């Protein structure tokens, strides 16, 4: 079977990147490079992959994200980097415009003392549970949170303030998968994938899900490769003819560097084999059994990180020096102080945003009357 034979080529495949010199030059265009996150990670600058186009900023490339699809599997995904402080508004704009039903977050805000992603969403433990986007005017409200042993499901209400239109967006957060590593087990990952599928967030009848980790290539690529492979296996009635190597290379034509390490690719193969066995023998991923599924404490809420003024020099990278020590006691105290300070700052920020928003809308109305 091709799927088994290809395991011996894992290291070679993981190092292979489909790229041309011309596209790499385009990826360095200064007009949109400040929105990229990790230094040294270039993405294709192809107009067909530019998905953020709005009535506010026609044709603007605002952040590193590509849409990729598997026609035979009837799947489409939006792969994105973790939002930066100055791209949070763009991120929510994309979710609204693309009518995405879900955001799949495969990173924590801080890992090993290093910022991996901006704090871009409201949380239930905050008094107002609300986040406001300045441009466009979008309001994100946390409605509920479901906590599981290694992941959470948040339900957000996304509202376009100018029109009053509202939409619910699910937020699946896999909280126990650190950068450059793999999940605790294929079974645990497949259970998570099953829950995402059950919600209908991956269906072709809704907008493509937004999938992100830190850089938007390692963990995000693993998720997409496993999901699309299992769809094809079920559709074909077996894994015969499925070439994960070729499927990955096709993915990398849209977003280079997907699946960053040999371990991530090896995990993808194992997860596909495990998932295929479960689907073909039992009919559903929901019937999979998690080995050594001992009770776990729910992962702690990630600390809120202050959003400074927009600055292209504040871009986090994989080499960013730790902001806090990894000592348990110091980290816990730092997180508590950070969250308390953030709540106070957020109240002031929210009041200012509401005031500014009203002024802008009033100015717009006055202009229309003239």
Based on the number of CB atoms within 10 Å of its own CB, is 318 exposed (0-12), middle (13-18) or buried (19 or more)? Answer: middle
Range picked from 64-78, 217-231, 344-358 for highest mean pLDDT: 217-231
CA distance 275 to 228: 12
Q: What would the pLDDT profile of 207-224 be if each residue is shown by its tens digit?
A: 999 999 998 888 999 999
Note the pTM of the prediction, 2 decimals. Answer: 0.70
Question: What count of Cα atoms within 13 Å lies in the side-chain half-sphere of residue 128?
Answer: 16
The answer to whether the beta carbons of residues 246 and 228 sit under 8 Å apart is no
- Name the more confident of 8 and 66: 66
Is residue 63 pLDDT above 70, yes or no? no
CA distance 159 to 145: 18
Give me the pLDDT at residue 135, please.
62
Q: Cα dist. 341→38, 303, 346 in Å?
A: 28, 11, 9
CA distance 52 to 95: 9
Looking at the 3D structure of the chain, how many domains does it have? 1
Give the domain range for residue 12: 2-369
101: CB partners within 8 A, 6+ apart: 169, 170, 199, 200, 201, 203, 206, 207, 209
Active-site amino acid positions? 213
- Name the more confident of 103 and 127: 103
Strands 102-105 and 165-174: parallel
Residue of 45, 30, 32, 174 lying closest to 105 (CA atoms)? 174
Number of Cβ within a 10 Å radius of residue 193: 22
Give me the pLDDT at residue 351, please.
63
CA distance 209 to 219: 15
Q: How far from chain centre, in Å, is Cα 35?
A: 15
| CATH code for the domain in which residue 192 is found | 3.90.190.10
- Name the more confident of 324 and 9: 9
Q: What would the pLDDT profile of 131-166 be if each residue is shown by its tens digit?
A: 877 666 899 999 999 999 999 999 999 999 889 999
Based on the number of CB atoms within 10 Å of its own CB, is 8 exposed (0-12), middle (13-18) or buried (19 or more)? Answer: exposed
Residue with tokens 């039903």: 101
Give me the pLDDT at residue 181, please.
74
Give me the pLDDT at residue 325, please.
41
Give me the pLDDT at residue 333, please.
58
Give me the pLDDT at residue 354, please.
61
User: Looking at the chain, how many residues does it have?
Assistant: 370
The tokens for 6 are 């290809």
């Amino acid at each position: 079977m091709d799927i088994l034979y290809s395991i011996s080529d894992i290291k070679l495949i993981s190092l292979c990147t489909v790229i041309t010199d011309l596209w790499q030059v385009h990826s360095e265009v200064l007009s949109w490079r400040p929105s990229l996150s990790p230094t040294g990670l270039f993405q294709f600058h192809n107009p067909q992959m530019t998905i953020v186009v709005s009535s506010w900023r026609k044709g603007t490339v605002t952040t590193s994200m590509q849409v990729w699809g598997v026609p035979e599997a009837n799947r489409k995904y939006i792969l994105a980097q973790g939002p930066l402080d100055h791209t949070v508004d763009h991120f929510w704009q994309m979710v609204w415009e693309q009518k995405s039903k879900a955001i799949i977050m495969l990173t924590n805000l801080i890992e090993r003392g290093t910022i991996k992603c901006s704090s871009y969403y409201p949380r239930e433990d905050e008094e107002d549970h609300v986040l406001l986007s300045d441009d466009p005017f979008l309001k994100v409200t946390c409605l509920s949170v479901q906590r599981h042993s290694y992941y959470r499901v948040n339900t957000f209400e996304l509202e376009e303030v100018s029109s009053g239109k509202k939409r619910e967006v699910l937020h699946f957060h896999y909280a126990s998968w650190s950068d450059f590593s793999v999940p605790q087990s294929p079974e645990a990952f497949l259970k998570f994938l099953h829950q995402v599928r059950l919600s209908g967030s991956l269906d072709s009848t809704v907008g493509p899900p937004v999938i992100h980790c830190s850089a938007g290539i390692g963990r995000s690529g693993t998720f997409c490769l496993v999901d699309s492979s299992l769809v094809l296996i079920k559709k074909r009635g077996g894994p015969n003819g499925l070439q994960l190597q070729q499927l990955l290379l096709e993915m990398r034509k849209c977003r280079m560097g997907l699946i960053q390490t040999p371990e991530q690719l090896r995990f993808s193969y194992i997860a596909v084999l495990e998932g295929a066995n479960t689907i073909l023998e039992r009919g559903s991923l929901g019937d999979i059994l998690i080995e050594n599924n001992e009770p776990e404490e729910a992962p702690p809420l990630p600390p809120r990180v202050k959003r400074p003024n927009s600055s292209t020099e504040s871009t986090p990278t994989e080499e960013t020096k730790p902001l806090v020590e990894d000592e348990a006691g110091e980290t816990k105290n730092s997180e508590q102080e950070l969250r308390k300070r953030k709540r106070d700052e957020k109240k002031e920020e929210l009041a200012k945003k509401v005031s500014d928003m009203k002024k802008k809308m009033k100015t717009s109305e006055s202009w229309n009357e003239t």
